[in-house]
Amino acid sequence: MRYLLAVLFMYSSLFAMTNFEVAKKSEDVMSGFKDSTSKMQMTLVNAAGQKKIRTMKMKVLEGEDEDKSLMEFITPADVKGTKFLSYEHVDKDDDQWLYLPALKRVKRIASKNKSGAFMGSEFSYEDLSAFNVKKYNYEEGEATAKNSLYTIVSQPTSKYSGYTKLISFIDAKTFLVQKIEYYDRKKELLKVAVFKDYQHFGDVVRIGQITMSNVQNDKTTILVWSEQKVKTGLRSKDFHKRYLKK
């Protein structure tokens, strides 16, 4: 029996993963889509349960570390045609521009602080940026799985993040994120995001729905992706500033 336990321990040590490795594996599982196009519907639910709906079109180009994205607002009608172009960077601030069709104006955005609310929703700009393990520090040691979920604790490296800690719950088999708890600068639980409806495109996995609940103000935002396509052949030049005005 002692021999058997020793062998089991040896094997489990051999296959044990650190928190960072689980996070990296989770990132890898969601990578490889090269580019994607989709529609997004954002449902804003206030504390009284009243709903407001926003719709957008989205294009994303996957980079080694730095994704590019172009988002166009479809509704509400007064912001129709407004576009948001973002070049994400790991080692410096993102490049971001906003196109305001009523003025025909392309406006540079200062992106240092990404904790601001996105379109009045419970998502912040940093919640919507592509996940990259380099943006976080992870606790040392082995990740532990309970009920088939790894619980990974991480801290954002950016001092401009709106969070002090994230606790991610990752499926131990698929390495897909199921839930993230976000802790604010006062180290109190602020929001909980639940991920579901993962969609498979061959060897590529894309998220289908995220429900973000703010536990401090009882508001919820549900983000649903539809008409998703991957590997459509988009190029870097399809994210040139010229397409803001098109």
Partner 1 sequence: MIHLLLPLLVAVSAFAEIEVSGHLDLDSQFYLTAPDSKHKNSFTAQQSLEFNYTNDELTLYSKLYAQEDYYDFVSADQKNERTFARLDELYMKYDFDDDAIQAGKSIKFWGALELRNIVDGFNPQDLRSDLLSVDKLGVWNASYSHYTESGELSLIVKLYEQNQEMAAYPYVYYFFPSFVSYDSKLKTQDADTRPSVYLTYSGSTDTEYALDYMFIYENGYDSQRYFTADKPQNLSPLSPTYGNPTVFESNAYIVNKFMTYNTLVLGATLIKLEALYAKVDEDINVGDYSHVAFGVEHTLENFYESAALGLIAEYYRYDTYESDKYSDIELFETMQNDLFVGLRYSLNNTEDSSVVGGVVTDFEYDEQVYYMKFESRFAESYKIGVDYYYIEPSTSHLTAYALLGQHQRVAVNVAYHF
Strand-pair category, 149-156 with 145-146: antiparallel
Burial class of residue 220 (count of CB atoms within 10 Å of its CB; 0-12, 13-18, 19+): buried
Which residues share a beta bridge with 138? 154
- Which of 119, 149, 167, 194 touches partner 1 by CB under 8 A? 119
Among 3-11, 12-20, 102-110, 137-145, the segment contacting partner 1 (CB under 8 A): 102-110
- Which of 6, 11, 116, 141 touches partner 1 by CB under 8 A? 116
Among 28-36, 73-81, 142-150, 203-211, the segment contacting partner 1 (CB under 8 A): 73-81
Nearer CB in complex with partner 1: 78/203:
78
141-149 long-range contacts, CB within 8 A, separation 24+ = 141/18, 141/19, 142/16, 142/17, 142/18, 142/19, 143/16, 143/17, 143/18, 143/19, 143/21, 143/22, 145/172, 148/172, 148/173, 149/178
Is 110 one of the binding residues for partner 1 (CB under 8 A)? Answer: yes
- Which of 7, 28, 105, 218 touches partner 1 by CB under 8 A? 105
Is 115 one of the binding residues for partner 1 (CB under 8 A)? Answer: yes
- Which of 44, 193, 223, 224 touches partner 1 by CB under 8 A? 44
- Which of 49, 77, 146, 200 touches partner 1 by CB under 8 A? 77
Least separation in angstroms between residue 38's CB and partner 1 is 18
Distance between CA 125 and CA 162 in Å, rounded? 10
Question: Which residues sit at the interface with partner 1, rule CB under 8 A?
Answer: 44, 46, 52, 76-81, 92-93, 95, 103-106, 108, 110-113, 115-117, 119-121, 160, 162, 236-237, 240-242, 246
